[in-house]
Structure 1
Amino acid sequence: MIRELPVMINGAPCPRGNREAIPVHSPSTGEQLARMVRSTTDDVDQAVDAAGRAATALASMTARARADLVRRVGDLVAGRAGVIARDLAGEQGKPLREAEGEIATAVTMWHEAAEIVRHSTEEILPSDDAERRVVVVRRPHGILAVVTPWNFPATIPTEYLSAGLAAGNAIVWKPSELTPITAVHLYDCIVEAGFPPGSVNVVPGLGHETGAALVSHPWISAIGFTGSPQTGDAIARAAGAKPMLLELGGNNATVVLDDVDVAAVAERLRSAVFANAGQICSSTERIIVHHRIHDELVDALTDQATSLRLGPSLDPETSIGPLNNEPTAAKIDRHLDDAVAKGARIITGGTRPGGWPTRLYYEPTVLTGLTPDMLAFREETFGPVAAFMTFESDDEAVELVNGHGLGLITGVLGQDTGRALAIGRRLKAGVVNVGDAATAWQPHTPFGGYSGRASGVGRLGGRYTIEALGQLQTFVLPAHTMP
């Protein structure tokens, strides 16, 4: 039987009624895995109403009591890791071992959020008035809207859910319609952990319908979103002055200096470019390499790319799985066609090979001759494509990294750390990895876009997410009420 994924409000599934259901298909096999019920605007209203009641209960709990529940979610996810990972790989398309790694990271996020809030403190500030005392306390926003994508259906939602609950918010969550099975697993763990009913409500649906109704709802207090810059901009316009945490992706560059160990760099770039078939907001897409070692590095990375085994997500021999969806595949086609038409050269890959159950299998691709007028330079490709361009001076490398409107994460690889750091200081990215590729990231560190760029607002990661999903309230009290 095909599993049906319902709307979930106030701790329970809603009867389907006359709601439409959307099929969920495996990118690997094309088979239908489930049907996702499509939320209505009435569902969004009811979910927000349930979250409003839960927000009062959550705000009245001590931080340490919330921490116990948040940690319990992590324990429950860990106990079901095998089942969740297989479902995640099946609906997302990534190799099973990558899905298992994603679940392990999600467990760590739940546990770390619990520990952060367990040890949170408030402040007493100096007062200019001897008769008054100033106390700064942390408060939740209230009702948090969360909208998450399909590329990491466990860890990206966990970033918002763990921190939002730890901070005392109730949440209405619209997961991606492409990966809702993983969302149901997370929701089940949250409910079983013992949170008050309505603490998290799931409203499946499409972004332009359910997502739009959710972020524009007048009772929503704050918004968390990971996705494209275009959608993030639309959300910001709809939300107005509400607090927002937006992670909007980037066309990330890794600069490779001429003093590196080329073989070691190629091995590092293998995962930086091709992990999750390149469908990572922090993936290295542009490789800006010193002209003296360009050919050697292209050859070395081509060897790495051709050693990858393309295949179904649940095949233990697979090292790169299919793409998740046709729009992503079509965008890669468009970027490569544009690049070749403008003079770039495909060294390996560049096609969707036949013989697979779906058209979503894409060969790991190495492209040379990238130039700033190409789509692959200006936009996020979001696929298994390593695009090379050269530089002669360090100033030129900086200009190429900063030469477009995105600024999420970048890397500088070189043996001369002083030189690499001097370049890194000039890069307009929220994260700069010196001595590593752009893709490297640790979940507890602040992650987000550089100001003035289209890669987002605010910072995700550890305590920074918890701080962003709460607010400060200042009390000025009579001195005799304090020690």
Structure 2
Amino acid sequence: MQSKSEVNRKQMRIRKNIVRLEGSRKRNITQQGKEKKMAEKFQMYIDGEWCDSSSGEVIEVTNPATGELIGTVPKAAPEDLERAIKAADREKEAFKHWGIVERGELMCRIADELEKETEKIAKYMSMEQGKPIATESRGEVTESAENLRNANEDIKRMNGEILYSKDPNRKIMTIREPNGVYSAISPWNFPMVMPAEHIAPILVAGNTMIMKPASYTPISAVFFAEAIERAGCPKGVFNLVTGPGPTIGEMMCSHPLVNAIAFTGENVTGKRIAQIAGLKRMLLEMGGSGPEIVCADADIKAAAEGAAYGAWMNAGQVCCSTQRVLVHKSVKKEFLEHLMKTVDDIVLGDPLDDKTTMGPLNNAPVADKVEFHVNEGIAKGAKILCGGGRAKGFDTNLFFEPTIVDNVTPGMLLHDEETFGPVIPIIEFETDEEAIKMANSTPYGLQMSVYTSSMKKAFYYHSRLNAGNVCINESAGFWEPHQPFGGAPGTETGYGRIGGKYTIEETTFLKTITVNFDKCY
């Protein structure tokens, strides 16, 4: 284990990285102050027109790194949403009958339009969300375009069946048709790619939609709507409404003209949606507390790097981040030595500086939650190996130190709940059965990871872990846009699958057609 002096040296290295960009950060902010302009005013996109809220109210969007006002978006009133829903309902029949080639080409044009504005979109994404522009925001624009182009390919491979009937003169066929009008609600942690994961399959399948982004990060969605308009999407097919979840979000999910709902976000909100949506088709992708399990025979360095990737990406604000590490007792010391080294490479700072690798947490509630989980763990006997609190010397208190916490046990929030920050709780185990029991002990079942060199053990684990996704010798933070991603039944992770053709299947329904040829001319 680390000695006290080693831990102190580690803390000093973290703080050096935190302040490494202090001079340039202050210069940047000072320069921004000199060039300070009026906050930008953004609008909603309803029925092919850009508009303000009918009430005139707005939502302010602030920069989590500086606390400065970036801009405003309309605070939609019920009548604004009503207009958007009626437009989508009006256009659903016409858009449904577009050919798959036409809809696929529309997706590619949207992708092209997004990529033309990569630098602008990435800049605003980093400003409103807090993620580093160099290591994350630019890549998120690229991945959003990839989702759209994948949809163009996936729709061509959707198929039905011809079934044999008992009567040789009869044929039974199955085809897929769009669900109709969609309400799509996206979260603040990936303000471009998660809307893309909804927009691409919903539209390419022939549905119409209303999109509501998170109020913390709506500007990225405005740029997405601009790309959709420039790509030639018919008016009324796609609508962007910005407003609060408790009013506009609930109306989106309960409105009688809405046929289906796509939601990505926290489980509390997802459960509320399920309550009010009734019998509408639902795609719910919610939280996770996916552990990485490090077996005694694992490649320990690779396991440590995988845990770090899953925990430090987006400051841990990812549903499939490394929420916990279950490590075998015999390799725990070696694992921690490798894991602690990953902290040296983190540069906490201004998201718009290309040297920064980790930005602030996005908002006060999530920062408060991370701090509370860590403090509760300490009070119950957990031990801080590095980090452990909010970083000093910044314009806001949303920067959180990369944190590794040892001696975590079931019963602590760090183990039982989704912390959603740059925190790696370490839990020791001795037997495979013990590790599986702890992995499956939380309400979540999204994605889990196992590091082992034994194929037999890999199969043993994946067949016993109650998760929709199991990664063998990959980080718990791993995914690719075309793979199915979602939770296990009976967990609080939701249902349905995000990713590739699997989401197109979710956004369509199976229609059965029976033809009696004996009665035909």
| 1:23 counterpart residue number | 60
Partner of 1:388: 426
Give the aligned partner of residue 78 of structure 2.
41
Q: After TM superposition, give the deviation of residue 17 of structure 1 in Å.
A: 4.6
Q: 1:214 to 1:296 in 2, by over 3 A?
A: same
1:156 alignment partner AA: M
2:97 corresponds in structure 1 to 60
Q: Which of 250, 257, 263 is the equivalent residue of 2:295?
A: 257
Shift of the 460–481 alpha-carbon distance from structure 1 to 2, 3 Å rule, reads: farther
Residue in structure 2 matching 1:82, options 119, 131, 139: 119
C-alpha distance after superposition, 1:271-291 (max 9, x if no partner) = 111100000111011000000
Tell me how far 1:264 sits from its aligned partner.
2.7
1:163-242 correspondence runs (5 A): 163-242=201-280
* Cα distance per residue 1:1-56 (max 9 Å; x no partner): 32112222011112445321111011111111111110011111111000011212
- 8 A contact 1:112–1:462 mirrored in 2: yes
2:473 maps to what in 1?
Answer: 435
Shift of 1:312: 1.1
Q: Structure 1: how far apart are the matches of 2:271 and 2:312?
A: 28
1:187-226 deviation digits (Å, cap 9, x = unpaired):
1111111111011111101111110111111111000000
* 1:368 paired residue number: 406
Alignment of 1:307-456 (within 5 A): 307-456=345-494
Contact (CA 8 Å) 1:7, 1:38: kept in 2 or not? no
Q: Deviations over 1:294-348 (max 9, x none)?
A: 1221232122124311001011111111111010000001101110110001110
Q: Could you tell me how far apart the structure 2 residues matched to 1:10 and 1:272 are?
A: 40
Q: CA deviation digits over 1:131-150, x for unaligned, max 9?
A: 32212111111100000000
In 2, Cα distance between equivalents of 1:411 and 1:393: 16
- What SS does the corresponding residue of 1:418 show, helix, strand or coil? helix
- For the aligned residue pairs, the C-alpha RMSD in angstroms reads 1.4
Shift of 1:465: 0.4
Q: Is the 8 A contact 2:55 2:77 kept in 1?
A: no
Q: Is the CA contact 2:309–2:475 (under 8 Å) kept in the aligned structure 1?
A: no
Identity %: 38
Q: Which residue of 1 aligns with 2:43?
A: 6
Q: Number of aligned pairs?
A: 483
Instruction: Give the secondary-structure state (helix, strand or coil) at the position aligned to 2:73.
Output: strand
Pairwise CA distance, 1:363:
0.4
Q: Counterpart of 1:406 in 2: which secondary structure?
A: coil
Query: CA, structure 1 residues 168+276, in 2 after alignment: closer, same or farther (shift >3 Å)?
Result: same
Partner of 1:278: 316
Q: For 1:332, give the aligned amino acid.
A: V
CA distance in 1, matches of 2:460, 2:174: 39
| Structure 1 stretches of at least 4 aligned residues deviating more than 3 Å after TM superposition | 15-18, 480-483
Determine which of 150, 153, 156 is the counterpart of 2:188. Answer: 150
Tell me, in whole angstroms, the C-alpha distance in 2 between the residues paired with 1:134 and 1:386.
Answer: 54
Q: Deviations over 1:395-428 (max 9, x none)?
A: 0010010011100000100112221221221000
Q: Distance in 1 between matches of 2:166 and 2:78?
A: 51
Deviations, residues 352-401 of structure 1 (Å, cap 9, x unaligned): 12210111111000001111111111110000000000110110010010
Q: After alignment, is 220-229 or 436-445 more displaced?
A: 436-445
Mapped contact 1:421–1:434 kept (Cα < 8 A): no
- Give the TM-score of the pair, scaled to structure 1: 0.98
Q: Is contact 1:277–1:320 with CA below 8 Å preserved after alignment?
A: yes
Task: Tell me the amino acid that sits aligned with residue 275 of structure 2.
Answer: R
Matches within 5 A, 1:123-138: 123-138=161-176
Query: Residue 5 of structure 1 contacts residue 180 of structure 1 at CA under 8 Å; is this kept in 2?
Result: no
Residue deviations 1:423-473 (CA, integer Å, cap 9, x gap)? 221000000011222111111111101011101111111000011011111
1:468 lines up with 2:515 in the alignment: no
Using the alignment, how far apart are the partners of 1:259 and 1:15 within structure 2? 59
- Any stretches of 5+ residues in structure 2 without a counterpart? 1-37
- Per the alignment, in what secondary structure is the counterpart of residue 387 of structure 1? strand
Give yes or no for contact 2:436–2:464 (8 Å, CA) kept in 1. Answer: yes
Question: Which of 148, 168, 175 is the equivalent residue of 1:110?
Answer: 148
* 1:306–1:364 CA contact under 8 A, matched in 2: no
| Equivalent pair of 2:54/2:79 in contact (CA under 8 Å) | no
Match of 2:14 in 1: none
The letter of the residue matching 1:34 is: G
Deviates more, 1:252-261 or 1:325-334: 252-261
Asked if 1:161 corresponds to 2:199, the answer is yes
Does the CA contact (< 8 Å) of 2:349 and 2:356 recur in 1? Answer: yes
The alpha-carbon deviation at position 351 of structure 1 amounts to 1.0
Residue 302 of structure 1 corresponds to: 340
